[in-house]
Amino acid sequence: MAGNVSGPRRSDHSPWNWLLILPVVVPLLTFVFNRSTPRLAGFPFFYWVQFAFVILGVGCTTIVHLATRDSRTGSHAAPKER
């Protein structure tokens, strides 16, 4: 009966989580960036857009974290004054 654990249910069902699909789906659209021009600092478009996808992933993850952290734990809320 280890699979039937009773405890508080997680509430990870925030609409902000849908933003995490963007850095997964966009790099799969290879027809958009499968070219060599324009070049940036001598690097073909294909290579520097891969780096841009890393920045996109970090940005989306940061936005989702900041938008959902207070609703998950409440530990980041400001302390009450007496």
Model confidence over 31-57: pLDDT tens digits?
988 888 899 899 899 889 999 999 999
Q: Residues near 69 by Cβ (< 8 Å), separated by ≥ 6? A: 76
Cis peptide before 79 (omega within 30 of 0): no
Token pair 């996109």 in the structure block, residue = 56
- Position 13 scores a pLDDT of 81
pTM over 0.75: no
Higher pLDDT, 63 or 8: 63
- Position 69 scores a pLDDT of 84
Q: How confident is the model at residue 75 (pLDDT cuts 50, 70, 90)?
A: low
- How far, in Å, CA of 60 to CA of 67, rounded? 11
